[in-house]
């Protein structure tokens, strides 16, 4: 379990903020259970003073979500495609073990090279569904 920044404070435990107006949009409602669990976990792990990068190798995510490695990989791929995550480093099958895992960042927060956009998943959803105006919120 993660520790608070200020040990004497109980209100600073790692947590995720999921807002009602975001969750009611189809860009969030269309997430599978594994995708929703993974994005919730990564949002809870984000800390402002630490790098916005998370290793999401298939084995690590599968153990965390208690799903198969294929399902874990699909969940990560879907979150990247839907705009919730940005791929920072591609995974590979050769090389040092520490550099093999794929690394992603949360698109809603800034990285060293890219400004964050909390509305990116909704913008991408609207672009994909532009031909069906009755679906757009």
Domain 20-128 fold: Arc Repressor Mutant, subunit A (1.10.10)
- So what's the pLDDT on residue 90? 80
What is the value of pTM for the model shown? Answer: 0.78
Ordered by start, the domain boundaries in the chain are 20-128
**34, 65 in Cβ contact below 8 A?**
yes
pLDDT tens digits for range 80-103:
999 999 998 887 655 565 557 889
pLDDT tens digits for range 33-68:
999 999 999 999 888 888 889 999 888 999 999 999
- So what's the pLDDT on residue 4? 57
Q: Is 105 helix (H, G, I), strand (E, B) or coil?
A: strand
**2, 13 in Cβ contact below 8 A?**
yes
SS3 content of the chain, % helix, strand, coil (to 5): 40, 10, 55
Interatomic CA distance for residues 22 and 107, integer angstroms:
14
């Amino acid at each position: 379990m993660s520790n608070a920044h200020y040990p004497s404070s109980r209100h600073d435990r790692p947590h995720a903020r999921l807002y009602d107006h975001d969750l009611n949009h189809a860009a969030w409602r269309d997430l599978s259970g594994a995708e929703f669990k993974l994005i919730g976990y990564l949002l809870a792990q984000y800390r402002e003073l630490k790098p916005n990068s998370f290793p999401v190798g298939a084995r690590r995510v599968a153990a965390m979500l208690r799903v198969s490695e294929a399902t874990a990989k699909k969940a990560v791929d879907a979150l990247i495609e839907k705009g919730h995550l940005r791929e920072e480093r591609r995974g590979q099958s050769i090389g040092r073990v520490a550099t093999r895992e794929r690394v992603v960042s949360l698109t809603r927060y800034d990285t060293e090279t890219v400004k964050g956009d909390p509305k990116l998943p909704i913008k991408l959803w609207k672009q994909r569904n532009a031909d069906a105006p009755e679906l757009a919120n």
